[in-house]
Amino acid sequence: MDNSLITNVKKTKIQPDKKLIGLGKSQKNTAESFKEVPVRAPEFFPDLRKIIISKYKGDVVTRYDCNLRYKYFFNYKTGEAIRSNYFTEAFEYTNTDVFAANFPHMVDIGIMGHCSHGRSGLCLKSGVQCYQNGLSVEKPNMSLENFKRIAAECKDLTNQFALGGRGDPNEHENFEEILKTCRENHIVPNYTTSGFDLTDEQILISKKYCGAVAVSWYRSDYTYKAIQRFIDAGVKTNIHYVLNHDTLDEAIHLFETDSFPQGVNAVIFLTHKPVGLGQKEKCLRYNDTKVHRMFKLIKQGSRRFKVGIDGCLVVGLINSGLRFDMRYLDTCEATRFTCYIDADMNMFPCSFDINGQYGVSLRENTIAQAWNSEQFQQFRNILREGCKGCEKSLYCYGGCVLHKSIVLCPSLQEGVCSEQ
Ligand code: SF4
Ligand code: SF4
């Protein structure tokens, strides 16, 4: 699973609660200077929970970051997430969107090291080119002990875990314990599965602990059955649909004929990447008329289910000429609000940093240390710089740092794809 649900974050102006944050009036930051506030090294914050203050009420948690001065809400029941802009020291609104958090709001965790579905060749057969190369890579799953450590570090700081990796999380030997650990640490677990070999027990466990489950669209009998079984059991069920050059026609057809399965909560469109088994020839192109048609359908939405996209696709919407409410869209959130941890306890900006260029080992570092590492800062600096001179960089930060060929922008995609 990747950071797809981040586009559901609503960014808005919220009046801060002065009593909750207890800030002094002596701080000198102006609205503009907030953007320049660096993410501070962890030694400044021996206990981040004294900097990020959480208040739980009913199904909603409100967190206030006293250092960066912004607020974020999360509803444990609906999954709704709202983030404010920065506030001034006088608790006034600013128009400046928060660039990066002091700690990830959502962590993508690859608890699986190997994939029986991928090994069977069914992924490839369905037309999905696994970015994790589940066809041939075989590594151990994350241990329960390591998972518990991650959850303890994220407690009261992170809202959600997206479980995935190289395989179906429901096949992990400690599947239930892992989900239970999330809830014990006030974290909502979600996961993505192929639905292959799904058992009734796994469905019941999912119903008990998960916020939502996503079934990858492998257009197979087991895909449709898994979706139906989750829905029948009352599990909030999403579809993860990888958009590539070859799947566009089908996606458009399913949308236009209203043929996605009845009862799904959301269909999330994910960008194909030239990673693992993913071929660069299948990358979407900004000047493909079908891509534009797809964006129109995404804008139009559906009456039956919610429609989402991954942050990687947002640049395409920004460049589509269509009007979108930018409060509901955020571009790549890697190192800004999200990160990925693999089964071997390495932390990356996102799961597509397959060469480990920006990786940090969690065997020697805490998550806070990795979040503030040189590698993560370097990644953020590239986003912060964006594309010089382009007015849209305020919204898209120059697009994907890792794979320029997926950035649906005329200025970048022309001539860049051939270099990848
Ligand atoms: S030129 Fe860069 S900043 Fe401007 S829209 Fe394209 S990717 Fe985004
Ligand atoms: S770094 Fe690239 S692949 Fe990773 S989440 Fe951002 S846009 Fe997507």
pLDDT, tens only, 350-390: 999 988 999 999 999 999 999 999 999 999 999 998 888 89
Average pLDDT score over residue span 322-345: 93
- C-alpha 335 to ligand 2 mean position (Å): 10
pLDDT digits (tens, 9 = 90+) for 247-298: 999 999 999 999 999 999 999 999 998 877 678 888 999 889 999 999 999 9
Who wins on pLDDT, 137 or 92?
92
- C-alpha 400 to ligand 2 mean position (Å): 5
- C-alpha 394 to ligand 1 mean position (Å): 9
Who wins on pLDDT, 235 or 391?
235
Average pLDDT score over residue span 221-231: 96
What does the pLDDT read at residue 304?
95
Is residue 4 within 8 Å of residue 192, measured between CB atoms? no
Taking CA atoms only, the protein residue closest to ligand 1 atom 8 is 398
pLDDT higher than 60, residue 217 = yes
∠ CA 68-9-355 to the nearest 5 degrees? Answer: 80
- C-alpha 334 to ligand 2 mean position (Å): 6
How far is 158 from 161, CA to CA, in rounded Å?
A: 8
- 301 forms beta bridges with none
Choice from 324, 329, 332, 392 to test ligand 1 binding pocket (greatest atom count within 8 A of CB): 392
Is residue 208 within 8 Å of residue 188, measured between CB atoms? no
Ligand 1, CB within 6 Å, residue ranges? 315, 318-319, 386-387, 390, 392-393, 396, 398-399, 407, 409, 411-412
What does the pLDDT read at residue 216?
94
50-72 burial: b if 16+ Cβ within 10 Å, else e: ebbbbeeeeeebbbbbbebbbbb
DSSP annotation of 162:
E
How far is 152 from 159, CA to CA, in rounded Å?
A: 13
For residue 313, give the ligand nearest its CA: 2
Choice from 131, 283, 350, 381 to test ligand 2 binding pocket (greatest atom count within 8 A of CB): 350
What does the pLDDT read at residue 275?
79
What does the pLDDT read at residue 89?
87
The mean-pLDDT minimum among 13-17, 197-201, 204-208, 282-286 falls in: 13-17
Mean pLDDT score of the chain: 85
Rounded (10°) angle between helices 175-184 and 200-209: 10
Contacts of 391 (CB under 8 A, 6+ apart): none
pLDDT digits (tens, 9 = 90+) for 24-68: 222 333 333 333 444 444 444 458 998 999 999 999 999 999 999
Give the percent of the chain with pLDDT over 90: 65
What does the pLDDT read at residue 327?
85
Choice from 396, 400, 417 to test ligand 1 binding pocket (greatest atom count within 8 A of CB): 396
Taking CA atoms only, the protein residue closest to ligand 2 atom 1 is 400
